[in-house]
């Protein structure tokens, strides 16, 4: 996952985009970038690192103009360590175009070959986002008459992108001299919303990965960009939208509600916070139904994402809820650190147990999910060292058994703790006395209750059902093979080599 922003305003947008990236920092910590448009000139600054580290006063002063896009990167394709793969990306032919992308193209290799052999375009990095940019550039060139663009022509080019690209993509782009373009894949997997703010000079528009960015920046949410739709705001602030695909379906990534999104966001009309509360209720029902023998003295969340679920779980079980772990706010999100060695090193720097909440008690730890399992193992150890009598571990999500190919770093079955293991074996791996998982149908119902009209979700990491219909065993095998190749920090090594007991939490 990544975070994207795009804005067309009546005043300079550099500070607005910077503030928006801070709000979306949870969606990517590896790199950040901003591009603004000042007349016919783009101004860009991007680098590896957190938003506050990438941008200095001198950088902000150079980002001139009333229109811009911004990106925070969490790499799922390409080189996690290359500054060249920080976004947005830029091409100057046939028009000046910059683009930021959240998601993952599943046919990027074929597109890269087609771009080189047929479209005569060169892709300089291993990023699928640069591939997507060049596909858009080629389609714009093919559709433009006499090298001129209008809204209809731009939407026709987006339709061409949809015909060629597969996978998950939410996109913001700027076309020099024309305006801000945003679009979402025909399956609606990755989120994208837009809103407006009224000013004395006229309306301003903001496009973002999550509604929380609109809230914080003072914009009123209009709606989500629907699957297959493109929106265009020209430099004067005129708004255009068009459906660019005949056949679409809405299949939001269910892991957004479990972990990725901020709880104060609303995605596809569903409150993330309320969904997580309902996840706690359904998990409590399962414990009552199947784990009556557990003598639970206290419910403790693993901060931060699991707090709403843990709170409702404790309320439903009539068991005290306590904050048993203190989080160091200056350590990044474990789940999205680029290498396994960094994940393992950070856990005890990140969390510290409050002994009085554990000593002599049977503790139920609640986390949003268990992915790889290493941090789960260390957290259970911390609870025991703090004096817990028994340690039970509940996951507000079902077992993660399948790779995610749509923009979340769950690429190989070998790296997933639940693959090939029973609940009892998982409990043994992480050192818990029992492990309790949410049922998938209960998770889906907890999300759907917020908007019953949505009938399907991308829950491929739980059930192996890939919404786009193009994921073959051979494709997954190739991903796993490339994942197994060594990288700078060992992140490409197999799970057996790296002690694959890993849970990811906020």
Same domain as 74, residue 32: yes
Phi, then psi, of 194 in degrees rounded to 5: -145, 155
Has residue 258 been placed in a domain? Answer: no
**92-96, 398-402, 482-486 — most confident range:** 398-402
Q: What is the pLDDT of residue 496?
A: 27
Has residue 495 been placed in a domain? Answer: no
Same domain as 305, residue 196: no
Same domain as 364, residue 457: yes
Spatial separation of the C-alpha atoms in residues 123 and 112, rounded to whole Å: 7
Count of the separate structural domains present in the chain? 2
Q: What is the pLDDT of residue 1?
A: 79
Is 375 among the annotated ligand-binding positions?
no
Tens of pLDDT, residue by residue over 296-326, are 999 999 998 999 999 999 999 999 999 999 9
Same domain as 324, residue 449: yes
CATH number, domain of 168, equals 3.60.20.10
Has residue 267 been placed in a domain? Answer: no
For the ranges 214-223, 414-423, 472-481, the lowest mean pLDDT is seen at: 472-481
Spatial separation of the C-alpha atoms in residues 77 and 355, rounded to whole Å: 41
Tens of pLDDT, residue by residue over 195-205, are 999 999 999 99
Is 334 among the annotated ligand-binding positions?
no
Is 305 among the annotated ligand-binding positions?
yes
> In sequence order, which residues have a C-beta less than 8 Å from that of residue 116 and are 6 or more positions away?
122, 123
Q: What is the pLDDT of residue 497?
A: 29
- Site of tokens 């739980």: 462
Q: What is the pLDDT of residue 335?
A: 47
Same domain as 281, residue 184: no
Has residue 502 been placed in a domain? Answer: no
> In sequence order, which residues have a C-beta less than 8 Å from that of residue 113 and are 6 or more positions away?
none
Nearest partner of 155 among 176, 132, 136, judged by Cα: 136
Mean pLDDT across 181-190: 98
Same domain as 211, residue 246: yes
Same domain as 187, residue 121: yes
Domain that holds residue 417: 277-329+347-483
Q: What is the pLDDT of residue 478?
A: 85
Same domain as 284, residue 241: no
Same domain as 235, residue 282: no
CA-based Rg of the chain, rounded to a whole angstrom? 23
Catalytic-role residue among 2, 165, 244, 253: 2
For the ranges 41-55, 392-406, 412-426, the lowest mean pLDDT is seen at: 412-426
Percent over 90 (pLDDT), the chain: 80
Active site residue 253: no
CATH number, domain of 411, equals 3.40.50.2020
Nearest partner of 240 among 149, 143, 137, judged by Cα: 149
Q: What is the pLDDT of residue 498?
A: 27
Q: Taking 90 as the threshold, does the pLDDT of residue 391 lie above it? A: yes
Has residue 183 been placed in a domain? Answer: yes
Q: Taking 60 as the threshold, does the pLDDT of residue 79 lie above it? A: no
Q: Taking 70 as the threshold, does the pLDDT of residue 484 lie above it? A: no
Has residue 501 been placed in a domain? Answer: no
Same domain as 299, residue 157: no
Mean pLDDT across 236-261: 96
Same domain as 409, residue 450: yes
Has residue 16 been placed in a domain? Answer: yes
Same domain as 222, residue 284: no
Q: Taking 70 as the threshold, does the pLDDT of residue 491 lie above it? A: no
Mean pLDDT across 355-380: 95
Has residue 177 been placed in a domain? Answer: yes
- Site of tokens 């801070």: 22
Q: Taking 90 as the threshold, does the pLDDT of residue 421 lie above it? A: yes
Tens of pLDDT, residue by residue over 65-76, are 999 999 999 866
């Amino acid at each position: 996952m990544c975070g994207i922003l795009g804005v067309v305003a009546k005043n300079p947008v550099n500070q607005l985009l910077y503030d928006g990236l801070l709000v979306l920092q949870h969606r990517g910590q590896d790199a950040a970038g901003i591009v603004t448009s000042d007349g016919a000139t783009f101004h860009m600054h991007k680098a590896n690192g957190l938003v506050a580290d990438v941008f200095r006063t001198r950088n902000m002063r150079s980002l001139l103009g009333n229109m811009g896009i911004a990106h925070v990167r969490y790499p799922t394709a390409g080189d996690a360590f290359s500054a060249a793969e920080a976004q947005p990306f830029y091409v100057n032919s046939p028009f000046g175009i910059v683009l930021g992308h959240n998601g993952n193209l599943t046919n990027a290799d074929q597109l890269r070959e087609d771009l080189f052999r047929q479209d005569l375009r060169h892709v300089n990095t291993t990023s699928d986002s640069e591939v997507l940019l060049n596909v858009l550039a080629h389609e714009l060139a093919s559709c433009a008459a006499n090298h001129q663009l209008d809204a209809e022509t731009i939407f026709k080019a987006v339709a061409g992108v949809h015909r060629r690209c597969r996978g998950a993509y939410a996109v913001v782009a700027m076309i020099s001299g024309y305006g801000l373009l945003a679009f979402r894949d025909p399956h609606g997997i990755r989120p994208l919303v837009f809103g407006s703010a009224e000013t004395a000079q006229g309306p301003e528009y903001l496009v973002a990965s999550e509604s929380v960015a609109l809230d914080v920046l003072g914009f009123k949410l209009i709606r989500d960009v629907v699957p297959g739709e493109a929106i265009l705001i020209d430099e004067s602030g005129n708004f255009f939208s068009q459906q660019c695909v005949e056949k679409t379906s809405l299949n939001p990534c269910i892991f957004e509600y479990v972990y990725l999104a901020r709880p104060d966001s609303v995605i596809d009309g569903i409150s993330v916070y309320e969904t997580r509360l309902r996840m706690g209720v359904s998990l409590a029902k399962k414990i009552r139904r199947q784990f009556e023998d557990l003598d639970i003295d206290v419910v403790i969340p693993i901060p931060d994402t699991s707090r709403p679920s843990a709170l409702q779980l404790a309320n439903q079980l009539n068991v005290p809820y306590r904050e048993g772990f203190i989080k160091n706010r200056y350590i990044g999100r474990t789940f999205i650190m680029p290498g396994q060695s960094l994940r393992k090193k950070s856990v005890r720097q990140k969390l510290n147990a409050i002994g009085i909440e554990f000593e002599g008690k049977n503790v139920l730890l609640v986390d949003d999910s268990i992915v790889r399992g290493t941090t789960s193992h260390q957290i259970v150890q911390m609870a025991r060292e703090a004096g817990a009598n028994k340690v039970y571990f509940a996951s507000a999500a079902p077992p993660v058994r399948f790779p995610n190919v749509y923009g979340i770093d769950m690429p190989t079955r070998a790296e997933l703790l639940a693959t090939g293991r029973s609940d009892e074996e998982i409990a043994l791996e992480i050192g818990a006395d029992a492990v309790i998982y949410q049922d998938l149908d209960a998770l889906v119902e907890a999300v759907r209750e917020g908007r019953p009209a949505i009938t399907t979700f991308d829950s491929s990491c739980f059930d192996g059902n890939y919404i786009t219909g193009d994921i073959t065993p051979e494709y997954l095998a190739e991903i796993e093979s490339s994942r197994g190749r060594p990288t700078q920090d060992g992140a490409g090594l197999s799970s057996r080599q790296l002690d694959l007991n890993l849970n990811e939490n906020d």
